Structure formats: structure tokens, C-alpha cells
Structure 1
Amino acid sequence: MQTNDLAEKMLKEFGPLMGGEDLRRALGYRTSAALARAARMGAVGVAVFDIPNRRGKFALTVDVAAWLTSLRNRKV
């Protein structure tokens, strides 16, 4: 699956912004606390950010799709 195909599917399901449980699952973290800890350490694979007056971390859906595709295409 190409980045654009995955991004299109994810945009239809999640919209332009991912957060909460959707973001946690997409990034592969077992718990919200694990994602929060990784974000504090700067160890999340995509740019995550805060939104004023909203709880949790957020990421752009297209960034998450691109990151997932890059992992799949990475040579081991």
C-alpha cells in the first residue's frame, strides 16, 4: 500500500487530526501513559503536539500514514 492510499483511508476514518485512543493504537502504544511518556521523551515517530484547552497529544493523520508506510518499506 502506498502512502497516499493509506493516507486517504485514514483521512476518511479519522479526519485530518488524530488523538486519543486512535493515535495510541495507530502508533502501536499499549497504553495512553506509554504514549504520553514517549512524547515527553521525544521518542514518538511522528510530530505530536498539544492543542490549547484540549487534553492529550495530537498528530496529523497524513504524518501518521507516512510514518507507518516508512516503517513497512524500511530495510532490516
Structure 2
Amino acid sequence: MAEELLECLSERYGAVLSSRALIKELGYPSAASFQQALARGAVPVPIFKIEHRRGSFALARDVAIWLSQKRTIAIGNR
């Protein structure tokens, strides 16, 4: 499952997701809620900055793995 998600995310965004993509793919309802999660250290994937670029970034692989894990947990709880 993670590999399929990685392929989809990579086709859509490339290897690195921007803040805008992270808001959408991690399911945050708004940019403000994502910023609040960042400030609290509560974003569920490793986040990094890129010199001379605005915003925060994460690897598509990390997002795909996290989404896959969440799905596996949801299926197991049925």
C-alpha cells in the first residue's frame, strides 16, 4: 500500500511535498491548523525547511508510509 501511495504522491508532487500539499494530504482543515500543529511539533511526519524557500516540506515517502500505517490501523479496528 505504501508503494502505491508513494507512486501517486510522487506523480502529483514529486519527491518533496510543500506546505500546501501537506495540508491537503495529511487532512488538515486549514493552513492555520497546519501551522498550529507545526508550532506544537504535532505534524505526524518529519518536516524540514529548505534554504531560500518559504514554507515547510516533507518527503513523499514519509507521507505515504504514514498514510499506509493509518489505513492498516483502521482496517484492523473493524
Which amino acid is 1:68 matched to? L
Structure 2 stretches of 5 or more lacking a match? Answer: none
Gaps of 5+ in 1: none
Secondary structure at 2:64 match in 1 = helix
Give 2:48's aligned residue: 49
Identity across matched positions, percent = 36
CA distance in 1, matches of 2:36, 2:53: 18
Confirm or deny: 8 A CA contact 1:36 1:57 kept in the other structure.
no
- TM-score normalized with structure 1 length: 0.89
Provide the residue aligned with 1:20 in structure 2: 19
CA contact (8 A) 1:46 1:64 kept: yes
> How far is the alpha carbon of 1:30 from its aligned partner?
1.1
Q: CA RMSD in A?
A: 1.1
> d(CA) in 1 for partners of 2:35 and 2:55?
8
Q: Deviations over 1:3-60 (max 9, x none)?
A: 1111112111110000132111001111112111101111111011111221111100
TM value normalised by structure 2: 0.87
How many residue pairs match? The answer is 75
Partner of 1:3: 2
The question of 1:32 aligning with 2:57 is answered no
